[in-house]
Amino acid sequence: MRICILISYFLLYNCVVYSQDSTGIKFSEEQDTLIRQRFIDRYENVFMTKVPTRHMFKLSLTFAPNYLFAVDNNAFQTTSYGLGYEYKISPSLSVGTDVLVNGGWGGNIGFTGSVDGNIYGRWYYDMPRRINEGVNVNNFTGNFVAIVAGKRWGKSEVDYQSSTIGIEFGLQRRFFNNGRIEFAIAASYQRYPEGHYPVQLSYGVHKAADFVIASRTSMGLAFGDWKRNNNLAMCEVFRCDEIVQQQWKLLWPKIYLSSQFIQATVGLAYERKLGSNPISVNGQVITDYMRIVSNGPAPHPKITSNDIQVWPSLQLRYYLNQKEAMRKGKGGQNLSGLYVGPHSDFVYYQSETIYGEGRPKRHLGFGAAAGLQQTLFRKAYVDLSVSASQNVLNPQPEVKRLLASFRAGFGITL
pLDDT at 141 over 80: yes
Q: In this predicted model, what pLDDT tens digit does every residue of 249-264 receive, in sequence order?
A: 988 888 889 888 888 8
pLDDT at 179 over 50: yes
Cα distance from N-terminal residue to C-terminal residue, the chain: 95
Identify which has the larger pLDDT, 382 or 21: 382
Q: How far, CA to CA in Å, does 219 sit from each of 74, 85, 94, 306?
A: 19, 14, 19, 31
Q: In this predicted model, what pLDDT tens digit does every residue of 94-103 receive, in sequence order?
A: 999 999 988 7
> Is the residue at 76 inside a domain?
yes
pLDDT at 19 over 50: no
Looking at every residue in the chain, the average pLDDT score rounds to 78
323-344 burial, b if ≥16 CB within 10 A, otherwise e?
A: eebeeeeebbbbbbbebebebb
pLDDT of residue 106: 56
Nearest to 50, CA basis, from 222, 179, 227, 219: 227
Band the pLDDT of 33: cuts 50, 70, 90: very low
pLDDT at 4 over 60: no
Nearest to 57, CA basis, from 183, 223, 279: 223
> Is the residue at 352 inside a domain?
yes
Identify which has the larger pLDDT, 47 or 144: 144
Q: In terms of pTM, does the model score above 0.85?
A: no
Band the pLDDT of 73: cuts 50, 70, 90: very low
> Is the residue at 28 inside a domain?
no
Percent of all residues in the chain with a pLDDT value above 90, rounded to a whole number? 28
Band the pLDDT of 121: cuts 50, 70, 90: very high
129: CB partners within 8 A, 6+ apart: none
> Is the residue at 36 inside a domain?
no
Q: ω into residue 198 within 30 of 0, thus cis? A: no
Looking up residue 246, the CATH number of its domain turns out to be: 2.40.160
Q: In this predicted model, what pLDDT tens digit does every residue of 348-361 receive, in sequence order?
A: 888 776 666 656 67
> Is the residue at 29 inside a domain?
no
> For 80-111, what is the HEC assignment?
EEEEEEEEEEECCEEEEEEEEEEEEEECCCEE
Which of the residue ranges 15-19, 86-90, 254-258, 324-328 has the most confident prediction, judged by mean pLDDT? Answer: 86-90
pLDDT at 408 over 80: no
Structurally, how many domains does the chain consist of?
1
- Which has the minimum average pLDDT: 9-18, 167-176, 274-283? 9-18
Band the pLDDT of 40: cuts 50, 70, 90: very low
> Is the residue at 286 inside a domain?
yes
> Is the residue at 327 inside a domain?
yes
pLDDT at 248 over 60: yes
Q: In this predicted model, what pLDDT tens digit does every residue of 368-381 receive, in sequence order?
A: 999 998 887 777 78
Percent of all residues in the chain with a pLDDT value above 70, rounded to a whole number? 71
Helices (H) and strands (E) in the chain, counts: 7, 16
- Which has the minimum average pLDDT: 105-114, 169-178, 363-372, 388-397? 105-114
Tell me the residue range of the domain where 214 lies. Answer: 41-223+235-413
pLDDT of residue 15: 47
> Is the residue at 105 inside a domain?
yes
pLDDT of residue 1: 53
Q: Mean pLDDT over residues 113-141, rounded? A: 90
61: CB partners within 8 A, 6+ apart: 79, 80, 81, 82, 218, 219, 220, 408
